[in-house]
Amino acid sequence: MHPVPDIDDLRDVPRFEDVAAERGWREWWQGSAVTLADHRARTAESLGPNAMPLTLIAHRGGAFLGMASLIASDMDARPALTPWIAAVYVEPEARGQGLGTRLVEAATARGFAQGHATLFLCAEPRNGGFYERLGWRRIERDVDGLDIFSLALVSRAAP
C-alpha cells in the first residue's frame, strides 16, 4: 500500500510547475493553437500572489500524481459564470485510487473558503457521473461539446 499522497498549493511545491504545465497542455491543448509555452505562462500565473488562479498538486515524494485548479473562467461561452474548478488531471498509474475525488474536493474547499457561494466546472459528458457523485449538478448540456456543472455551498451543507 502506498502512503497517502500530499496535496499542496503549487506555490508551496514550485518544482512541479513544469510537469503540471506539460501534462495540462498534453491533455487539453496539444494540437491546438495553444503552444506549450503559452500554457506554461498560464500555469505560472498560479505562482502569483493572487488567490486565483490556484493550482493544487497531488504528489508523493518527488512524484507528480495529479492536479486541479481554481480559475476565474474556463469557458468563453459562459463568461458570467465564475469561478471554475478546472484542469482536473490524475496520472494514469494513480487513477482509480480516489485521488481525483480528493483533488476536486480540495479545490472546491479552497473556492468556498475564498467566499464563493457557487463553483462551476465543465466536463466531457462521459465524465459527468463522476462529478454528480461528488454532489455537482449538471446545469447545461453540450456547450461546445462539454457539460457544465455547478456546486453551491448550501448544497454541501445539506444532509
Please name which of 103, 110, 102, 76 lies closest in space to residue 87, comparing C-alpha atoms: 103
Q: Is 76 within the bounds of a domain?
A: yes
Residue 4 reports pLDDT greater than 80: yes
105-125: burial string, b at 16+ Cβ within 10 Å, e else: bbbbebbbeeebeebbbbbee
**In whole angstroms, what separates CA 146 from the centre of its chain?**
15
Q: Is 87 within the bounds of a domain?
A: yes
Q: Is 106 within the bounds of a domain?
A: yes
Dist CA 29 CA 14 (whole Å): 22
Number of domains in the chain: 1
Q: Is 115 within the bounds of a domain?
A: yes
Q: CA angle, corner 138, sides to 127 and 78, nearest 5?
A: 100
Q: 27-56: per-residue pLDDT in tens? A: 999 999 999 999 999 999 999 999 999 999
The CATH number that applies at residue 103 is: 3.40.630.30
Q: Is 1 within the bounds of a domain?
A: no
Query: How big is the chain, counted in residues?
Result: 159
Q: What percent of the chain has pLDDT over 70?
A: 96
Tell me the pTM. Answer: 0.93
Please name which of 109, 13, 119 lies closest in space to residue 74, comparing C-alpha atoms: 119
Q: Is 94 within the bounds of a domain?
A: yes
State mean pLDDT over 73-100: 96
